[in-house]
Amino acid sequence: MLAALIPTTEELLKNYLEVIEKTSGNISPLYRLDAFDYTILIVYFGILGILAIYGGYRVKQVIDFWRYRKLKPQPKARFAEGELPFITVQLPLFNEMYVVERLLKAITEIDYPRERFEIQVLDDSTDETVKLADATVAAYAAKGFDIHYIHRTDRTGFKAGALENGLKTAKGELVAIFDADFVPKPDCLRKLVDYFTDPLVGCAQMRWSHINGGYNLLTRLQTIMLDGHFVVEQTVRNRTGGFFNFNGTAGIWRRK
């Protein structure tokens, strides 16, 4: 009796086909896509495509970084000690009272013939930085440094305007730029200047490092992000002849 109550496979299939036949054409989809849905899908997959391309680009950079790890650029020649080019060091400031003294101390400790470089403190500040920077510059000038304090009350062009204004009186054939929160090492100019023996070199970018890289989680994450740019991306671009950009500070430019 129990076996008779259980339908056979053939009966189940027959019943299923009958249901399909009776409901064919009467079953509506639960949801139909409209124009807005298609727009969202296009944008979504478009973004995924862009991220995929960027991800592939970054993977290629890591591969190229490993491939060209031994290809380190070298200067075309070396300047004789008595023929080192004159360098103007520009220091743009805006309300930097907490770091200006540290910056000027680091700049005056640079290992480069004192008679072959000048320092321009380009100050657009509106706070106590004005008096502090002026006094600090005067103190170093008294020690024999070729250092000049240039203060603007009209901030036309902001940082770029300050740099341009400084160039009007700059004596250097090369121009080094450092933002106020940087602490350049004493050998920074020596390491880069010889690359300008090649007349085709117009700019040299220094790698950034981090004073407080291990301070907390945020600074550690920022360090990783910046190192990814400088250690991997900039290195690969340089060694493969790719497009190379100046990062706005910690670099040297040829004026002509």
pLDDT tens sequence across 38-64? 899 999 999 999 999 999 999 999 999
Q: Domain locations in the chain?
A: 84-209+244-254
CB 86 within 8 A of CB 172: yes
Residue 196 scores a pLDDT above 60: yes
Distances (CA, A) of 233 to 10, 54, 61, 75: 67, 13, 7, 21
> Alpha helices of the chain — where are they, by DSSP H?
2-5, 9-23, 35-67, 100-108, 129-142, 158-167, 188-193, 217-227, 235-240
d(CA 89, CA 172): 8
More confident residue, 222 or 107: 107
pLDDT number for residue 254? 96
For the full predicted model, state whether its pTM sits above 0.85.
no
Q: Residues of the chain with pLDDT > 70: what percent?
A: 90
Lookup: tokens for 167: 């160039």
The fold adopted by the segment(s) 84-209+244-254 is: Spore Coat Polysaccharide Biosynthesis Protein SpsA; Chain A (3.90.550)
N-term to C-term CA, the chain:
104
